[in-house]
Structure 1
Amino acid sequence: MPAQLGRIPVMKPWLGEEEAAAAAEAVASGWVAQGPRVAEFERAFAARVGAAHGIAVSSCTAALHLGLVALGIGPGDEVVVPSLSFIATANVVRYVGARPVFAEVEAATGNLTAETAEAVRTARTRAVILVHQGGVPADAEALRAYCARHGLLLLEDAACAAGSTLRGRPVGAGAALAAWSFHPRKLLTTGEGGMLTTDDPACAERLRRLREHGMDVSAAQRHLSRTPVLERYTELGFNYRMTDIQAAVGLVQLAKLDAMVARRRELAAGYRERLRALPGLVAIDDPPYGESNFQSYWVLPEEGRPGGRDRLLAALAEAGISARRGIMAAHLEPAYAGHPSVPLPVTERITRDSLILPLFHTMTGEEQDRVVEVLRREAGR
């Protein structure tokens, strides 16, 4: 790599002085655990995604786990999940003693459909986890209708999808339960952290108890009470709380979300224009029913390309550009040997051949030119 050119990361959070000041203010307040800033962040995030209630937790994995607990999924149940997802999507099914059953995804979006879910449904199927993969919205309305027809429960894994839209509404609007991630690889970050959103007040109240050891009165409520409060533990719960420091950062990030999405869509359009003339390279794009936030921008080289995806990754790395293999397939991992699925040729093709290109808020046109020039050079070999 020439000395004058800096390394291009695959992703970089858009964080600055405002987030640092908000975190410092939370520390100075003396209230650093779950408290008033968490409650404010819950209200603001839920409103942004079109839900009535938000329940902040320590990670999206925690959110998915609590979601399955709230839905009553347990031993003897099967849950349909896409293999093409980070392994946490399948892991949480095993956390509650149920069995994940891997389903295929459609090639155009990398998402589960009603048809691919139906291919693995059995008499033991109780629920479906739908992933909006890489921020590309799945057709959740079709899946909701499918689940309603067959008496199935639906949990939406919207880890990557803050700011994406489905038929003009935010992804997650109208979901019985949706889980979100604030990991640094996502648009909106609190370092670590997650959220559940729902329109059901009783479900929301139970989720708030579950995240805090099953207590019927939260620590914040006990602290603010002017009289002694003796809490009770109504059921088995967990320690899945978010801190006020994280929520303070999250509130600043949430105010930036529209700008983040606009910039990432602009960068995605820049890639689309630059890649148009490259043969044998298919790039992810919006589905006809929604708009992606482009949390990830992945491309799929044609099959049979000499060296395939790994040759492109190596060439990019040599040029000082960080890229990543495409989305993993959980059914190919040792932890899931023997778990049921149908043949998954689309999943295996995407995970084997796709790569994720750099995309971050402060990325420049010159940096995109560098990325595409490497791809163009490799295409000519």
Structure 2
Amino acid sequence: MNRINVMKPWMGADEILAVSDVIASGWVAQGPKVAQFEREFAVAMHAQHAIATSNCTTALHLALIVAGVGAGDEVIVPSFSFIATANAPIYVGARPIFIDVDSSTGDVTAEGVAAAITERTRAVIVVDQGGVPVDLDSIQEVCDPLGIVVIEDAACGAGSTYRGRPVGAGAVLAAWSFHPRKLLTTGEGGMLTTSNAQWAERARQLREHAMSMSAADRQASVLAPAEEYLETGFNYRMTDMQAAVGIVQLGRLSEMVRRRREIAARYATAIAGIDGLRPVGDPEWGTSNFQSYWVEVEPGFPTDRDGLLKALAEGDISARRGIMASHRQPAFWAAAADHALLGVTERLTDNTLILPLFHQMTDEEQARVIDVLRAPLTVAGHG
């Protein structure tokens, strides 16, 4: 049997040709392809401004800076997320305040945000966890009157929808990831989108050491004027080689989502007949791209989560433990003194796993995964 991976990027000859064209052009650093990718991504995501970055973490960092978050501020974040979500506030001297998530979506709720707000709260980072769209409107209704900025961590969200529009479309700031585990990948890379023109301009400068003119404009000039460095900036640039891949990938996005939702629907049908397994699904306000298809192993199932992971591994199937609980990591022990308030996060982290789901997955490969899910029931005499 061939190994079944949890994820495979969908890439091919078009991406190879796109990178080859960039190399042949002689302009491989941030340049015209990055600008094209930004324009096309903004259109696709219904965003007013898009700023390409080296990854989603740097996009989150820039989002907090342009939003004015700094030392002494508090930023409400889910613990149920990759650790970068909680790291970003630390970069600007703020304190991450962990809150729990909804058990069915894995996303934060307006009620959870409202309960955590203090006089020091300056921003909230919400996450479209695993591609499941967060209920952004309800959270903005809590935060906007208080002047609290809501930043959408849409790292997993490209291709998901919220109330009929792409996720992130209603956020004043949203950060995106193009890591290989995401649907749309450039190897590494990210994007910041915003509806605020001044924030967009500042983010563009900050990603290039806060230079007064872009490196692309300077390179295009025969005799470039002397640049100035307006504040302390960063090197958070994307290359034209990455952007060329991103442009091709963006054209594939709708087909990626269609195929992933087809595979997810097959999982849902199969798992509906297995007592003790609860799969993730669409919330009432949107549709998921199923960047991660996670399943909760409940007490009625014949084995626990780790036992099921072991069974899958014995079948040469690579699944993964569920989303991490950031507050359990040594870096954040001091920031998460009251773990009792994060019960749903800990339950989901301990009892969920992510099943293989990728564009090229065959019916036979998915059947192998489903057979392993059903096997403990047969051993226990339930099937």
TM over 0.5: yes
- Look up the match of 2:257: 261
Given the alignment of the two structures, is residue 365 of structure 1 paired with residue 363 of structure 2, yes or no? yes
Aligned 8 A contact 2:133 2:160 in 1 = yes
- Look up the match of 1:376: 374
CA distance in 1, matches of 2:282, 2:330: 33
CA distance in 2, matches of 1:89, 1:379: 38
Deviation at 1:234, TM superposition (A): 0.6
- Look up the match of 2:333: 337
The correspondence of residues 143-182 of structure 1 with structure 2, limited to 5 A, is 143-182=139-178
- Look up the match of 2:282: 286
SS at match of 1:240: coil
SS at match of 1:81: strand
SS at match of 2:98: strand
What is the aligned counterpart of 2:81 among 82, 85, 107?
85
* CA separation of 1:266 and 1:305: change in aligned 2, threshold 3 A: closer
Deviation at 1:225, TM superposition (A): 2.7
CA distance in 2, matches of 1:272, 1:104: 25
Deviation at 1:223, TM superposition (A): 1.8
Return 5+ residue gaps in structure 2 as ranges: none
Per-residue CA shift, 1:90-137, capped at 9, x if unaligned?
Answer: 001101110000001001100011101122211211110000000000
Aligned 8 A contact 2:19 2:245 in 1 = yes
The correspondence of residues 42-191 of structure 1 with structure 2, limited to 5 A, is 42-191=38-187
What is the aligned counterpart of 2:313 among 300, 313, 317?
317
CA distance in 1, matches of 2:377, 2:41: 43
Return 5+ residue gaps in structure 1 as ranges: none
Per-residue CA shift, 1:313-334, capped at 9, x if unaligned?
Answer: 0000000100000000000111
What is the aligned counterpart of 2:295 among 291, 294, 299?
299
Given the alignment of the two structures, is residue 28 of structure 1 paired with residue 24 of structure 2, yes or no? yes
SS at match of 1:344: helix
SS at match of 1:316: helix
Deviation at 1:365, TM superposition (A): 1.2
* CA separation of 1:379 and 1:229: change in aligned 2, threshold 3 A: farther
Runs of 4+ in 1 over 4 A off after TM superposition: 304-307
Deviation at 1:273, TM superposition (A): 1.1
Deviation at 1:307, TM superposition (A): 4.2
SS at match of 2:365: helix
CA distance in 2, matches of 1:164, 1:187: 11
CA distance in 2, matches of 1:379, 1:35: 56
Given the alignment of the two structures, is residue 37 of structure 1 paired with residue 33 of structure 2, yes or no? yes
* Letter of the structure 2 residue corresponding to residue 144 of structure 1: Q
- Say what the alpha-carbon RMSD is for the aligned residues: 1.1
CA distance in 2, matches of 1:196, 1:151: 21
Aligned 8 A contact 2:79 2:326 in 1 = yes
Shifted more, 141-150 versus 63-72: the winner is: 141-150
For these two proteins, the number of residue pairs brought into alignment is: 377
- Look up the match of 2:217: 221
Aligned 8 A contact 2:303 2:376 in 1 = no
CA distance in 2, matches of 1:146, 1:310: 38
Per-residue CA shift, 1:65-95, capped at 9, x if unaligned?
Answer: 1111111111110100000000000001101
Per-residue CA shift, 1:11-45, capped at 9, x if unaligned?
Answer: 00001010011011111110000000000000000
CA distance in 2, matches of 1:371, 1:228: 59
CA distance in 2, matches of 1:130, 1:250: 24
What is the aligned counterpart of 2:193 among 197, 204, 211?
197
Per-residue CA shift, 1:145-168, capped at 9, x if unaligned?
Answer: 211122211111000000100010
SS at match of 1:343: helix
- Look up the match of 1:241: 237
CA distance in 1, matches of 2:7, 2:275: 26
CA distance in 1, matches of 2:283, 2:327: 26
What is the aligned counterpart of 1:209 among 201, 205, 208?
205
Deviation at 1:226, TM superposition (A): 4.6
What is the aligned counterpart of 1:327 among 317, 323, 328?
323
Identity rate, percent: 60
